[in-house]
Structure 1
Amino acid sequence: MNHYEKGRHTPDLQTLKRIAEELGVPLNYFFCESDQMAKFVLLFEQLSEDEKDELLTELNLKKGR
């Protein structure tokens, strides 16, 4: 893990999946480029499928303004 944190090695996708499962985070969490997006990903994953659809609809409506 230390080598990954220091950028000496990059984990392959299977390893990242196992780390994500162990930490209880979605895989895409590791690819977020900001803390704000990482927080959004964590919150979004906690929503039900209906709530996700509802939020996406709302965001699309706001974007269309």
Structure 2
Amino acid sequence: MAKTTAKYPVFALRLAQARERSGLSQTQLGVLAGLDPSVASPRINQYERGKHEPQLKTAKRLADVLGIPPAFLYTDDDLLAELLLQWNDLTLRQKKDVLKQVAATKTLRGKSSPKAE
């Protein structure tokens, strides 16, 4: 499993990654997520530096504004993070197809076989 390694907590890294990907400034993200404009930039900055982590409801609002699944902000697995970003862009039909493919792969591999790679 690919893991992130850094001096900042996973949430801080993922939030900064998603915000930069969206092209929003810290202030814009905070305001769009419902933070008071006077504290929006410093609060997002504190989240991205790992000084504070928001409550789950705030994290969900941030994820909604960024167009990402909230789980992206919490995973330390880089491959899963990428999958979550891709997942969010799929249609419901495509998501069901992916789940079927994963289930089929699991069945082919067998439950007792070791995981590849």
Whether these two folds match at TM > 0.5 is yes
**Which of 1 and 2 has higher RCO (CA within 8 Å, sep 6+)?**
2
Alignment of 1:1-65 (within 5 A): 1-65=44-108
- The residue type paired with residue 99 of structure 2 is L
Distance in 1 separating the partners of 2:63 and 2:74: 11
Mark the runs of 5 or more structure 1 residues left unpaired by the alignment: none
Q: 4+ residue stretches of structure 1 with deviation over 4 A?
A: none
Name which of structure 1's ranges 48-57 and 1-10 shifts more when overlaid on structure 2: 1-10
| Higher CA-based Rg | 2
TM-score by length of 2: 0.51
TM-score by length of 1: 0.84
Please give the per-residue CA displacement for 1:4-63, whole angstroms capped at 9, x wherever unaligned.
222221110111011112212111111121221111001112111111111101111101
Aligned CA RMSD, in angstroms, stands at: 1.3
Q: Secondary structure at the match of 2:54?
A: coil
Q: Which structure's residues are more often helix, by fraction?
A: 1
Mark the runs of 5 or more structure 2 residues left unpaired by the alignment: 1-43, 109-117
Distance in 2 separating the partners of 1:58 and 1:38: 19
Distance in 1 separating the partners of 2:66 and 2:93: 25
**In percent, how many aligned pairs have the same letter?**
32
